[in-house]
Chains A and B, each alone.
Chain A
């Protein structure tokens, strides 16, 4: 671990010691952000999805060193003060979680969608999951959960 990475994670400034060839997903997991899952290391499954400056990326395809100065959001930042994010609640209400391995990535893809489009259509939600593979749910309940959370979040505003 020969380099220093200055990075903001879930709003907190952090300094990670990294190797030049660390993937961003490796660096985040080593620092305890275990919500960043890894299911392929080739960018195909989307379980390592995080938000980089608000946009979803697969963190296994980015070198940690490239994230110098960036702002990262992981699933650990979604619940605030012990309260789940409306998306997290909706996922549990709708039975959208099975094994749970893809869920952090899906939650972040959904969050990015709702940030730019608070009133998405079902098709737009499905489009937002284009980079997230799930083998358990057939996507049916995760899609419903996002639509439900969107309604709740609009109602709260």
Chain B
């Protein structure tokens, strides 16, 4: 009995889902106090209530929804294209040393140029319309997905492939029965990095060349000194990015149910 008593935590434990809100709520509280006591001038850090009402107004006019939808569509399109290509290239390089020898040096050089560095060149190539945004986002997602898929496939223990060889798996069976399932965790790491990079790229490209979208809302708020709008846009970007990451995590968990079972 004493053992049981000692094992109980000395404070009431929060459900794990609740813990996630602790830190944001404390930050929000700190932010409110700071605004109330005037630690930072409101031109730099508007009060949470103002940011809230700015968001409310934006939502009321439909601007928030339309800009979010535009940004989300860009990310989804660019991420889908970039991660699909990244998966293909990662798998091809992972499975074949020859492909690796041919493609990897160029790919590495390509990956070394930061996404932002591609924007001027791409602007010359495709102008500043939608294709530019999709290309930049796709590039941002492509690199981490390809790299992690490649590394993940190379890290699949050869003992698994031997079991496949023993039962005379062909290349396709080996790929989808052994290699891909074994590489699910690193591939998903790549996809989640890719998604984060896609959001970063989106905001960057909307800052530079767009008249709509959440990134644009951000620049616009800053240019007009509507810092509450700017902060609101930042918060929405963060929340949408977080939601997308959770969706990816849920998908990964479904594929990896054996770990939890």
Say whether A and B bind each other. no
Interface, chain B (partner A; CB < 8 A): none
Interface, chain A (partner B; CB < 8 A): none
